[in-house]
Amino acid sequence: MPTPAAAARLIRFDAFELDLRTSELRKCGARLRLQGQPLQLLTLLLQDSGNLVTRAELRNHLWPADTLWISTTASTTPLGEFAKRWAIRPSHPGT
């Protein structure tokens, strides 16, 4: 059984496990390739699970504070990459 400190570094959901210390995502024990902004996005969503994450929160989390302007396309690209990789379909397309 993992220690409390080790358990705090692991987030489990469905068949997945995200190790926050090593930034590794695993599915049924097999390591999956996910890095950069899609990994940052997943971490943000899991750490605030069950709560709405605003576009402003995404922007603040995924881009440096001195970024002047982020297009809508750039702000949704990490989400699209994550969804495409894991074949996630939105329950309400177009919203």
pLDDT in tens, 30-60: 988 888 888 888 888 888 788 888 878 887 8
In a domain, 92, yes or no: no
**Domain membership flag for residue 13:** yes
Q: Which domain holds residue 41?
A: 4-85
35, part of any domain: yes
Residue 90 lies in a domain: no
Any domain includes 25: yes
CATH number at residue 63: 1.10.10.10
Number of domains the chain is built from:
1
Report the mean per-residue pLDDT for the chain.
75
Asked whether residue 21 carries a pLDDT value surpassing 70, the answer given is: yes
Q: Please check whether residue 91 lies inside any domain of the structure.
A: no
- DSSP for the chain reads ---HHHHHTEEEETTEEEETTTTEEEETTEEE---HHHHHHHHHHHHTTTS---HHHHHHHHS-TT-----HHHHHHHHHHHHHHTT---SSTT-
pLDDT the model gives residue 22: 92
* Amino acid type, 28: C
